[in-house]
Structure 1
Amino acid sequence: MMPSQEVSRQNPSSQINTITKKIIKDGEMKIQVGDIKKAQEQINSILKNNKAYIQKEEFQNNDTEENIDLTIRVPHQNFDALVNSFSDGFGSVLAKNISSNDVTEEYTDVSIKLANKKIYLEKYRDMLKSAKTTKDILEIQENIRELEDEIDVSEGRLRFIDDRVNYSTLNLNLYKEKIRSSATSTIGFGSRFGDSVTEGWNSFVAFLLGIISLWPFFLLIPVVVFLWRKWRNRKKK
């Protein structure tokens, strides 16, 4: 609710300098490697050369594969070089997705509204000094509180956009498939036994389904037997 004293509207766009283009670049890559530990050593070297760092790391290891999920942040000017380093000879690239998002319009819009809110805030503070009635004081204080909250949100949004623009994000997945063989596998007997039971059951089910699929022929067997016996009895007579 606005107090009885009117706050004159001003256009703060003239007070905002020309904003350079704001481009957010992100990427996702999945790479199959032969040795996870060796790949990690290569990653450390690539990150250092491109002034990048690992924001998040997750490792998974099961009977069939090893996986490392990395969230990498890199200065935007080094993003392409980082992607090329992983694409060229690092491993077998299974998937790759690179995107660019122009957020200049949003950044400009938030900046203009933020400047406008700061102008209103100063005017409300001046009005508070000259307010006479308790009602006006409380109303102005409430508007000041709301504006301060909105300003905090807008400034947080601009900081978030600046961070995403200045540092690009690459989600990198390293994948290694384990070799499963009775001679070379390091997987335990229990896992191999379970696999054998599963394979045997699947074979039995496939065999059973194959027999069931022949049910029309089974229906003909009694007919064939009946006709054969009838023919044989006639021949004897």
Structure 2
Amino acid sequence: MGKLILPLFFLVFINCSNPGADKQPLNADLMEAIASKNELPPPPAEVSKISSTSAIRAQKNTDTISRKIIKNGEMRIQVGEIKKAQNQVNDIIKKNQAYIEKEQFQNTDMDDNLNLTIRVPHKNFDALINSFSDGIGSVLSKNISSNDVTEEYTDVSIKLANKKIYLEKYRDMLKSAATTKDILEIQENIRELEDEIDVAEGRLRFIDDRVNYSTLQLSLYKEKIRSSATSKIGFGSRFIDSLTEGWNSFVSFLLGMISLWPFFLLIPFIVFLWRKWKSHKKKA
């Protein structure tokens, strides 16, 4: 009996040690993972070391990213003449290598407003602010803010690098796909990854643009002393305007009283009824 058990044990040991006995093909494992989940499958066993190395390299690259600071500002300046102030602003913008992204002018009875959206290189932002504060006019308000987006930039960069790694693996899998179903599923995953990569790259470009070029909202404001454009500033013209406004007010009052003429017709009738009621009361 002991002689029989020993050969059987030897055969079992050989079968268990065979590395290819129960191993399934690599692509079948990945296809099953893709079909059963909507999320990305883990990388194949033989490329896991490569993927890990690439991810570590991406992490090291993002660790060296410089600080990403977005600067924004708002200024409101009261000026004597809009046109003159605008010429001064243009000279300052040109000197600081900036440009006007948006311009809007408003002319009302009370004031003139020129609103400018200015983009300026990050390094020239402070110099631009100081130039506008000196010589243009009276600064009514100023608000400067800084936003550190380094963490967001690093996070998006790492995820983008990992998505590119998975995209290459899917493209390799597509070359060896055996069935139409597998091809369609892999192509769908590739399409989704490409869309996500485009969004991530667009976000990084937007952050880089806001970091490299700061934004300043500049408003030039001129208050109008009088609403009349034809009369001159002075005591005589103001006196005439006052008389005109007084006469206009009197005419408006008179026209208002005239518009009440139906009520005036009722007054005699009301007085008649009141006197009649009063005399009847005395007789009683």
TM-score (structure 2 length as normaliser): 0.63
1:167 match = 213
What are the ranges of 5 or more consecutive residues in structure 2 without an aligned counterpart? 1-29, 34-40, 234-240, 254-284
Contact 1:73 1:170 in 2 (8 A): yes
Which position in structure 2 is the counterpart of 1:74? 120
Residue 188 of structure 2 is aligned to residue 142 of structure 1 = yes
Is the partner of 1:155 in helix, strand or coil? helix
Answer whether contact 1:65 1:176 (CA < 8 A) is retained: yes
State the Cα deviation string for residues 85-128 of structure 1 (Å, max 9, x = none): 11122111111100000000000000000000000000000001
Q: 1:105 aligns with which of 151, 156, 165?
A: 151
So what's the TM-score if we normalise by structure 1? 0.75
Q: Which residue is 1:14 aligned to? A: 57
Q: Where do residues 149-228 of structure 1 align in structure 2 (5 Å cutoff)?
A: 149-180=195-226, 183-184=231-232, 196=245
- Check whether the contact 2:102–2:117 (CA below 8 A) recurs between aligned residues: yes
Residues 76 and 13 of structure 1: is their aligned pair in 2 closer, same or farther, counting only changes over 3 Å? farther
CA distance in 1, matches of 2:146, 2:182: 49
Q: For residue 116 of structure 1, what is the aligned residue in structure 2?
A: 162
Once the two structures are TM-superposed, the CA of residue 3 in structure 1 deviates from its matched residue by: 3.2
- Please state whether the residue corresponding to 2:32 is helix, strand or coil: coil
Kept in 1, the 8 Å contact 2:118–2:217? The answer is: yes
Gapped regions of structure 1 (runs ≥ 5): 186-191, 205-237
Q: Using CA pairs under 8 Å that are at least 6 residues apart, name the structure with larger relative contact order, 1 or 2.
A: 1
Tell me which structure has the larger Cα radius of gyration: 2
Identical-pair percentage: 73
Structure with more of its chain in helix, by fraction: 2
> Retained in 2: the 8 A contact 1:28–1:96?
yes
Q: CA deviation at 1:200?
A: 5.5
Alignment check: 8 A CA contact 1:7 1:123 kept? no
Cα RMSD of the aligned pairs, angstroms, is: 2.4
Which letter does structure 1 place at the counterpart of 2:31?
A: P
**Structure 2 counterpart SS, 1:73:** strand
Is the 8 Å Cα contact of residues 7 and 120 (structure 1) preserved in structure 2? no
